[in-house]
Amino acid sequence: MRKAQSIAARKEQHWAWLMVAPTIIGLLVLNYYPLIETFILSFSKTKTFGASTFNGIDNYIQMFQSPEFWKATWNTILFCILTVPVGIILALLVALLLNAKVKFKGGFRAIYFLPMVCAPAAIAMVWRWMFNGEYGIINQILGTKISWLTDPKTAIVACAIVAIWSSIGYDAVLLLSGLQNISKSYYEAARIDGAGRIKQFFSITLPMISPTLFVTLIMRMMASLKVYDLIYMMIDQSNPVLPDVQSLMYLFYREAFVAGNKGYASAIVIWTIFLIGIVTIVQFIGQKKWVNYDV
């Protein structure tokens, strides 16, 4: 009897491994292998036709001595600071509104999520027209003549606004799922005790939604540190403010596919991964103080 159960258990394990094999193979081929290749390539100097020679840490020395690299690092961090806190707060407000008892709730959810399904190129074209310093609708509404995309002081702010607008819907849907998992009995008990809406939000809603908020924060932080396509489409390569807004991933693209210096570009990628890792570790350490996993 035990032998038959053991054989059946082994068969189940074999089927389990077979089911997860495509995912494991995908991770190895599409994630881990390129990461290892990138790490090796960061210690190499590439030549024509893909040939490369080992040059030690020369790429990293060149990178850390480059003012342009440190400027791109600061631009990436600044973009993250501008987009993540404001985007998360606005997404939470939208999620609270969508969770309230309002008419056409499904339609509003679709409208807020619409930017996520629109082509990034189309979004960039519309926002570039809106931010145009001469005839843009934003300047017409504000009654100003700000050169949003050609002024170093406002170019990265303009890109941050577009990034926030594009991500609110997706983040709001994630937070909405967390809000809908909160039992109404908590709010009923709080109302009986005389707690108002603000007290209920900080005592019930925020603690109960904190795990979902934490996941959303990590995802948005990683996306902001890896920003490339938005800056590429919003800022022309001939735009003089490009050095003031280009991110690490934009610098990687330029070095890898324009200059052909893939070894140096790989070093930039490794630095970006290191930066994301540090931020993620800090978040996981800090979440112990504010994330509530108790149901």
Contact 59, 263 (CB under 8 A): yes
Domain with residue 182: its CATH number is 1.10.3720.10
pLDDT of residue 295: 56
Provide the angle, in degrees to the nearest 10, between the axes of the packed helices 105-117 and 152-180. Answer: 140
User: Is residue 27 domain-resident?
Assistant: no
| Interval 217-265: pLDDT, tens | 999 999 999 999 899 999 988 888 998 899 999 999 999 988 888 999 9
- Return the percentage of the chain with pLDDT > 90, whole number: 41
The domain tally of the chain equals 1
| Interval 105-152: pLDDT, tens | 667 777 777 777 777 888 888 999 999 888 889 999 888 888 999 998
Range of the domain at 232: 71-289
CA gap 147, 92 in Å, rounded: 31
| Interval 255-285: pLDDT, tens | 998 888 899 999 999 999 999 999 999 999 9
- The better pLDDT of the pair 58, 2 is held by 58
Q: Provide the whole-model pTM.
A: 0.87
pLDDT of residue 6: 67
SS percent in the chain: helix, strand, coil, step 5: 80, 0, 20
User: Is residue 205 domain-resident?
Assistant: yes
User: Is residue 295 domain-resident?
Assistant: no
Question: What average pLDDT does the chain have?
Answer: 87
